[in-house]
Amino acid sequence: MTPTSATGTATTPVPTPVELTLPALLVTGEPVQRSGKTLGELSSSYLDAQGVDPAMPLYAVDVWQRGETAQVGNLFVGMTTLQPGTVNGEYVMTRGHYHQDPNAAEIYVGVAGEGLLLLMTRDGDARTEQVRPGSIHHILGHEAHRLVNTGSEPLKVFAVWPTTAGYDYEAINADGFPVRVFASDAGPVLQPR
Ligand SMILES: [Fe+2]
């Protein structure tokens, strides 16, 4: 792993402490923080999680930041890896959140797999975007966002967002997103809640 202690100068280039490793498509390096979610932690997000192993891994997020979290203008860099599969027919998805700062936009870039990005505002406007390798998604600061893996491979999405964005999960817990995405023989079906 690349050491973090390398100190670059204007005339002495150093390798970055974090990189996008290929072909694994993971953000790796010593300063990267990994967090993960299992079904047991998010079972209430699904319509029906009865009978499904709560230890089922749903997704992991690898995050890196170079500057101080509290400094306005600094950015997180991250990669979400969302597992394929369903919970009683409902595709694996992220918890989803609003940013506490409605001015804090976020960029997603699809890098592997296929899925959907659910977006909604507190006013009830909603849209769904297709996520695929190369898709670029500009999430406005006031839009809640959730990823859904509708493919058979891990869905990997690279993201950049302000370190001061903050996360509001409670509004999602209370009201959810306007659609749920289920598997069917004909492909993903978006069902209104
Ligand atoms: Fe976000």
pLDDT tens by residue, 117-151: 999 999 989 999 999 999 999 999 999 999 999 99
- Report the separation in Å between the CA atom of 6 and the middle of ligand 1, taken as the mean of its atom positions: 30
Q: How far apart are CA 122 and CA 144, in angstroms?
A: 8
The reply to whether CATH 3.20.19.10 applies to domain 19-192 is no
For residue range 86-104, what is the model confidence (pLDDT) as tens digits? 999 999 999 999 999 999 9
Q: How far apart are CA 164 and CA 15, in angstroms?
A: 27
Q: How many CB atoms lie within 10 A of CB 147?
A: 25
- Report the separation in Å between the CA atom of 109 and the middle of ligand 1, taken as the mean of its atom positions: 13
| pLDDT of 24 | 78
- pLDDT-derived band at 6 (thresholds 50, 70, 90) equals low
Say yes or no to pLDDT of 3 above 50.
Answer: no
- Report the separation in Å between the CA atom of 145 and the middle of ligand 1, taken as the mean of its atom positions: 7
- Residue extents of the structural domains in the chain: 19-192
- Report the separation in Å between the CA atom of 24 and the middle of ligand 1, taken as the mean of its atom positions: 23
- Report the separation in Å between the CA atom of 153 and the middle of ligand 1, taken as the mean of its atom positions: 23
Mean pLDDT over residues 68-93, rounded? Answer: 97
- Report the separation in Å between the CA atom of 167 and the middle of ligand 1, taken as the mean of its atom positions: 7
Q: How many CB atoms lie within 10 A of CB 165?
A: 20
Tell me if 4 sits within 8 A of 17, measured CB to CB: yes
| pLDDT of 1 | 42
Say yes or no to pLDDT of 84 above 90.
Answer: yes
Global pTM?
A: 0.91
- Report the separation in Å between the CA atom of 104 and the middle of ligand 1, taken as the mean of its atom positions: 9
Say yes or no to pLDDT of 67 above 50.
Answer: yes
Helices (H), 83-136: none
Helix (H), strand (E) counts: the chain: 2, 17
Q: How far apart are CA 177 and CA 73, in angstroms?
A: 29
- Report the separation in Å between the CA atom of 141 and the middle of ligand 1, taken as the mean of its atom positions: 9
Say yes or no to pLDDT of 192 above 90.
Answer: yes
Ligand 1 is a single-atom ion; what residues have CB below 5 A from it? 106
Residues 6+ apart with CB under 8 A from 123: none
